[in-house]
Structure 1
Amino acid sequence: MVLALGLTMVSVPAMAQVVPDETVPGAGLDLPANLQIFGKADPNIRKATAVVNDTVITGTDVDQRVALIVALNDFKLQPEDMQRLRLTVLRQLIDETLQIQAAAADKIKVTREEIDKSFDRVAASFKRSPDEMRAWLRQIGSSERSIKRQIEGELAWGRLLRARVDINVSQAEIQAILDRLTADQGTDEYHFFEIFMYATPDRANDVFAAQQRIIEQLKQGTPFEYLARVNSEATTKATGGDLGWIRLPLLPEQLQAAGKQMSAGQIAGPIEVPGGFSIIYLAEKRQVLRADPKDAKLSLKQLTITFPPGTNETQATQRAADFAKATSTMQGCGDAERVAGTIGAEVVTNDNLVVKQLPAPLQDIMLGLQVGQATQPFGSIDQGVRVLVLCGRDDPPAVGLPSAAQIEDQEIEKRTNLRAERMLRDLRRDAIIEYR
């Protein structure tokens, strides 16, 4: 189910509250159905933030969704960032309201039992019972109703898409994709994320400055996907700026030039591109239909020395030099315990570590080692100094062409998502939305 995954990111699908127009019995009192309040309004009453085709989205709806996103991502947001997040959530709430309404117009119904069962599964994914989940949601300022409305929206929209969208992928199209993959085998492809912002000539300086501020937020640890959803003006903002796996020739020349110089984990920008400016983040790099060496599993031994309190830099440097000299004479993993004993090092074994799990600077170092070789010492006075010894490497299996069925499924998903975007765009265009 999509919800269980979406809740772990800032992309939590939005939801709305439907406020019924009904009169509460007055227990014998002559109460009007429509009240006009004179004087100061009750501060506990939440005014509507927007009305979407007569469906009300209140400030409470926005607050509860924002609270959920902040809690799940452990965000520490400045006031201006919180306001941007609220606006993003409101847009998402409006979109989901339109989706729910469109499904209802096609007589698509989601039962209360289905929603309750889905809520229980979501709670289980958080390792909580339903009651514990409800208590946690109240604690963070969200609610059970908010989650259940989200579930209803996802189920309803998914069923509407299945009812309206019929995608066929021909055998000729599948074969063309297979041929293209074969021709591209061995070429580099990149997994980029992007934050694009439009800039007319008179706004270029302002947009450039805005992107510089975004880069500062990235340096401070704000997640790229969150900033893309809040700031990007490209269609990929809905997926956190994810461009997917792509070859450089398919990008604008300016992004190609930057991409050639980047390593995985790096960010570049602001980069002037046709129509505006972009910030790009390179998550991974690989070769088409080639196994990624960084998927190899390593068998390692780690030797660690620590420093007693009060050790100064000169003392630590000398001890690290002695450590390096001792480990340089080591004859493979079988000799690790003997060497550790001569210098008072601790030995830890890990037989199932994937190269990608190592810090980025160590990944290339480990890929360059032969079995039995050790790294140079690394670390700090506070955390100790370590050496890794490579005891074995299991290379990843060879990558073959995907099957025709896999390609068909991927194309159906891609085209369904495109059709869904068009449907939602049409719903927005025809909607009557009043902001309060």
Structure 2
Amino acid sequence: MKLFKRLSLVAMLVSATALTPLIAQTIGDDPVPEAKLAIPDGQQLFGKNDPNVRRATAQVNGEIITGTDIDHRLALIVAANENKLPPEELARFRAQVLTNLIDETLQIQEAAANEIEVTDAEVNQYFDRVAQQNFNRPANEVEKYLISIGSSVATLKRQIKGELSWSRLLSRNVRPSANVSDDEVNAIIERIKATKGTTEYRLGEIYLSATPETMSAVTENAKKIIDQLRQGGNFVAYARQFSEASTASVGGDLGWLGLAQLPQSLANAAANMNANEVQAVTSPGGISILLLIDKRQVATSDPRDSVLSLKQIAITFPKGTPEAQVAPLVKQFSEETQQITGCGAADEMARKLGADVVNRDGIKIRELPAPLQQVMLDLQIGQSTPPYGSLQDGVRVFVLCGRDAPQEAASESFDEIMSRLEEERVNKRARIYLRDLRRDAVIEYN
């Protein structure tokens, strides 16, 4: 019995391929000034555009993106969402995958034009590391898994190559000019000192740009995405495929932010959100789908960072066992385990109940499922939690064997703040760089 429900293998693999750490990059509330197009009213369209016709493949500056390329990348997303995507979602994802592959191709081409090489050996080495870190298994077993879901090693390695190429290109052509002064860093340090004890928010964002003309369609699209997320869709996977912010490659994670660092519309929403809540926020530049991942107090220790030593006692039920038959077993399990008087007595109780025992150390309270976090904060050493679980996954209790209080939170160092600010500037310029590549590209849809 596993202690915690893990992310699906594909979700972990998809998120693990983000190579460059990205910092919060939201779009401000003020409209971005743009040159106006001279488009007179009262004219007509010569020809028809059928919105139901989607271009399946494309050539990007002569390089072909095949239907197989799209299918293999799409399979990763489907698996990350536990094969629960409805047909209309698949169609939208397919169109977005093609857009992502076009951008990826442009990035690889631009790196090659600048004589930046990413060798097969480097890609293979990174892939092997991802396989070991996220799957705890050799790369050849991961290859079998990807084939089983309709994907391939090739599509994942191409994504790795694209992100390595883009990262190196930015490091050479963009990063050297993203300078941050000492005065800017010192100003942030003073602001952190002044805001000690206030609340910071860790947010995920899926940013969808919109103009006044497209706002209605984009709003409808955002509603569909939120519906899928609330039904269990993987936020990281959706952010990587749909978000137009540079944080898409890290699953939309904006990091820890104070409300003052956010555009006012996002700050107002975040202040009233609960953990794991998803909400759409409208701004002049488009729509942000926000996920509140967590909250904490600035530069102060958080009790949820306490490190626990736990003993898990779990029972499972044969597949197909009626709920009426399970209820008295759970009741007995609950009554017996509440009599545990310390971790030393837990093993004997488990033997008596025919339960499995797992010892786990080094678990932070904030890493536990939300229903257990408050229970752990109030639990005394040697006490056990109420039963937690389900008919399908089994029921378990956790005995608290030890708890180490969190150390006083350390503020960011001067160098850490400077690095963060430089990264913000690199990311903003990266979006402009990619926008220019799109404008200059010759793209033929098939």
TM-score, with length taken from structure 1? 0.72
| TM alignment of 1:299-310, pairs within 5 A | 299-302=309-312
Match of 2:117 in 1: 110
Query: Is 2:204 the counterpart of 1:193?
Result: yes
Aligned residue among 409, 415, 428 for 2:425: 415
Match of 2:64 in 1: 56
Offset of residue 77 of structure 1: 2.8
Q: Distance in 1 between matches of 2:102 and 2:400?
A: 54
Q: Distance in 2 between matches of 1:424 and 1:379?
A: 46
2:402 aligned counterpart, secondary structure: strand
Is the 8 Å Cα contact of residues 81 and 233 (structure 2) preserved in structure 1? no
Q: Distance in 1 between matches of 2:250 and 2:88?
A: 22
Query: Is 2:355 the counterpart of 1:350?
Result: no
Is the 8 Å Cα contact of residues 323 and 377 (structure 1) preserved in structure 2? no
Q: Distance in 2 between matches of 1:411 and 1:11?
A: 23
1:221-240 CA distance string (max 9 Å, x none)? 11123333444455654543
Aligned residue among 163, 173, 181 for 2:172: 163
Output the aligned Cα RMSD. Answer: 4.2
Q: Which amino acid aligns with 2:236?
A: E
Offset of residue 294 of structure 1: 1.9
Match of 2:37 in 1: none
Higher RCO, Cα 8 Å, sep 6+ = 2
Query: Is 2:232 the counterpart of 1:221?
Result: yes
> Across the two proteins, how many residue pairs are aligned to each other?
391
Q: Distance in 2 between matches of 1:344 and 1:208?
A: 53
Is the 8 Å Cα contact of residues 9 and 73 (structure 1) preserved in structure 2? no
Match of 2:50 in 1: none
Q: Distance in 2 between matches of 1:227 and 1:172?
A: 38
Offset of residue 189 of structure 1: 0.6
Q: Distance in 1 between matches of 2:139 and 2:129?
A: 8
Offset of residue 282 of structure 1: 0.8
Q: Distance in 2 between matches of 1:244 and 1:75?
A: 29
Aligned residue among 115, 125, 130 for 1:125: 130
1:126 aligned counterpart, secondary structure: helix
Offset of residue 361 of structure 1: 0.9
Q: Which amino acid aligns with 1:85?
A: F
Structure 1 residues 249 and 331, CA gap change in structure 2 (3 angstroms): same
1:9 aligned counterpart, secondary structure: helix
Structure 1 residues 98 and 391, CA gap change in structure 2 (3 angstroms): closer
Q: Which amino acid aligns with 2:427?
A: N
Offset of residue 257 of structure 1: 4.3
Aligned residue among 231, 234, 240 for 2:251: 240
| TM alignment of 1:268-417, pairs within 5 A | 269-274=279-284, 277-302=287-312, 315=328, 319=332, 322-323=335-336, 327=339, 332-333=342-343, 340=349, 348=357, 350=359, 352=361, 353-376=363-386, 387-417=397-427
Offset of residue 172 of structure 1: 2.3
Q: Distance in 1 between matches of 2:60 and 2:350?
A: 72
Q: Distance in 2 between matches of 1:342 and 1:64?
A: 47
Match of 2:88 in 1: 80
1:371-416 CA distance string (max 9 Å, x none)? 3444445566787765544332112222223333333333333322
Is the 8 Å Cα contact of residues 48 and 56 (structure 1) preserved in structure 2? no
Q: Distance in 1 between matches of 2:252 and 2:235?
A: 8
Deviates more, 1:78-87 or 1:250-259: 250-259
Aligned residue among 92, 95, 106 for 2:100: 92
TM-score, with length taken from structure 2? 0.70
Deviates more, 1:123-132 or 1:426-435: 123-132
1:420 aligned counterpart, secondary structure: helix
Q: Which runs of 5+ in 1 are unaligned?
A: 14-46
Is the 8 Å Cα contact of residues 48 and 57 (structure 1) preserved in structure 2? no
2:14 aligned counterpart, secondary structure: coil
Q: Which amino acid aligns with 1:125?
A: V
Is the 8 Å Cα contact of residues 74 and 94 (structure 2) preserved in structure 1? yes
Q: Which runs of 5+ in 2 are unaligned?
A: 1-9, 19-54
Query: Is 2:17 the counterpart of 1:9?
Result: no
Offset of residue 123 of structure 1: 3.6
Deviates more, 1:200-209 or 1:227-236: 200-209
2:206 aligned counterpart, secondary structure: strand
1:41-87 CA distance string (max 9 Å, x none)? xxxxxx98223233333333323333455456654433322222222
Offset of residue 99 of structure 1: 2.1
Percent identity at matched positions? 45
Q: Which amino acid aligns with 1:182?
A: K
Q: Distance in 1 between matches of 2:139 and 2:334?
A: 56
Structure 1 residues 52 and 182, CA gap change in structure 2 (3 angstroms): same
